[in-house]
Structure 1
Amino acid sequence: MLEVLLENEFGHIELYELAKGLQALRFVHQKGQGSVSLYGGQVLSWQPHGQQPVFWLSETSHYRSGKAIRGGVPLCWPWFGGEVKLPNGELHKVSNHGFARQSQWQIADIKLLVSGVEITLSLTGEQLSPHWPGAFELTQTLVFDESFVQTLTMKNLSQQTLEYTGALHSYFCVGNAQETQIPALNDVLYDDKLSGSNGQQSVLKNCLGPTDRIYHSSKSMVIVDHKWQREIEVSSQGCQQWVLWNPGEEAKTIADLHADGENEFICLEAANTHWQAIASQTSVSISQTIKLKVIG
């Protein structure tokens, strides 16, 4: 199935079948091309004209209901990691990263402009998880032009304050993770999820793992990709941490990660890993902006 939803002199946007029962949007524009899955409300790809792809997508990713898609920009919401906070304040173990990335989103708006493509998706629900039963509305705005801007707005429709943790779980495509650096993370305090140690500081020599760290910084980051001779600048708004993840040799144990894929990406995630309150009938937003720069 293929349906052209919008077409003009700047490009076109089409709806296609990603897999049986799963739909996605694909656009071609004079500024570049990309795709977004309605399942999970997940950006799958973005490639500005004349550039290498910005986001990485596994060749063996699962595309079926109940499974997360490996790559692109999954949404971790309404919890990050594998814990939720119960009404009595206790933490309860759950499956990783919440239900937004395994939910069916709706198209709210699409625009084909001279500057680029704008896609707005929405997800509304209540009682989607016994661990997080609150009524909510999510609105995700995606702007693809010279840069990429992703904004996730969370509205609490319930009668009580809700709390969330979350992340914009970006898989960045790089020439080689071992030849990639993020200088702004050097000597920033981090918690190491692999060793269980907190409050560490070190120099990050490269981005090939196994690495799973929560860095306590909200400053803009620059991913220096020496092999592809480019920089990816990532800034966040409304987020308190950065999460850096690459499985390294442990990739062999991940069924939906193709062979040697760990060398092709790094995950740098704009995140709130500490519980954040959303008062009843109010909204909060988190966002990230991504820009590219060629280096000589």
Structure 2
Amino acid sequence: MYKQDDLEYISVENSSSSAKIALQGAHIFDFILKERGRVLFLSEASEFREGKAIRGGVPICWPWFGANENDSALPNHGFARTSLWAHQSTQTLSDRETKVTLTLHSSPETLVLWPYAFCLTLDIYVGKVLRLELTSQNLDTKAFTFTSALHTYLAIDTIYETRVDGFKAKQYFDKTQNTFAIQEGTIDFSKEVDRIYKNVKNDVVVKDEKVHHTIQTEGTKTIVVWNPGEVLESRMPDLSDHTKMLCVESANVLDDAVTLAKGESHTLRQTIVTEFRDVSISR
């Protein structure tokens, strides 16, 4: 076990890649393809402090996404991303792939925030691709409904030359305008973008001249795309450079919110396949 500032983390390395996973939030904050480059963005200003979400990597939003609908005083994006998870195992699947499993169970502290018994399991596959599987299990005596997201920060060369394919003619909810619209043409990243795309059954591709990220999702048809833009970044002291990141999030929100009966479970799966072009973007 290693430590960065206040937070303990697991370090994984094999012949394909390396990763760092904080126990707080089961948060993978670094994933590097060997001899190629860094796949996930991590803000240089991010704080590794107890109770503070890491700015970058893949935060886990659960059991609600964004502000709590019933009580805005509750933690934004839920409590999973700032809770201490238990490291269950690290398995060598081959010389090119490693599996890390972490769990989070309901506790007296979580029951104050959300009155249900549950078990969360995150399986992280570190190899030629990065795959995350978040399984939610209802251990309560009654049904519950949750929203969630794998809030993935992708490393890019520059937001102003980045294109996103896979949303043609898709309906989306624009959180900056509080309206629904249909995607036409390319996404304009000259200002803040915060959109929830619906009914996305295909892969999503993020590309610029130096890197192509293909995001494959199972367990939902909803994808969130977010970049804060220059104005919002100026109000975010833990974000170092919005031009080097784009969030593409597999999310159970809107029509894809999940209701589980007693004993039922649900898995949200995201796979990131990254291809570097010409030069590495690692910093």
State whether TM-score is above 0.5. Answer: yes
Contact 1:207/1:266 (<8 A) preserved: no
Residue 54, structure 1, aligned to residue 39, structure 2: yes
Distance 1:139 1:151 in 2: 8
Distance 2:40 2:188 in 1: 19
Q: What SS is found at the alignment partner of 2:52? A: coil
How far 1:130 sits from its partner (Å)? 3.2
Runs ≥4 residues deviating over 6 A: none
Contact 2:111/2:117 (<8 A) preserved: no
Q: Partner of 2:121 in structure 1?
A: 139
Aligned letter for 1:291?
V
Q: More deviation in 156-165 or 106-115?
A: 106-115
Aligned letter for 1:223?
V
Q: When the two structures are superposed, what TM-score results if normalisation uses the length of structure 1?
A: 0.87
Residue among 95, 110, 115 paired with 1:114: 95
Q: Larger relative CO (CA 8 A, sep 6+): 1 or 2?
A: 2
Distance 1:123 1:205 in 2: 36
Q: What SS is found at the alignment partner of 2:179? A: coil
Q: Partner of 1:175 in structure 2?
A: 157
Q: Partner of 1:104 in structure 2?
A: 84
* Pairing of 1:158-169 with structure 2 (within 5 A): 158-169=140-151
How far 1:92 sits from its partner (Å)? 3.9
* Pairing of 1:1-296 with structure 2 (within 5 A): 15-20=1-6, 22-84=7-69, 91-93=70-72, 94-112=74-92, 113-127=94-108, 128-216=110-198, 217-226=200-209, 228=210, 230-249=211-230, 250-258=232-240, 261-274=241-254, 275-295=257-277
How many residues of Structure 1 are paired with residues of Structure 2 in the alignment?
271
% of aligned pairs identical? 30
What is the root-mean-square deviation of aligned Cα atoms in Å?
1.6
Q: What SS is found at the alignment partner of 1:178? A: helix
Give unpaired runs (5+ residues) of structure 2: 279-283
Aligned letter for 1:232?
H
Contact 1:109/1:119 (<8 A) preserved: yes
Give unpaired runs (5+ residues) of structure 1: 1-14, 85-90
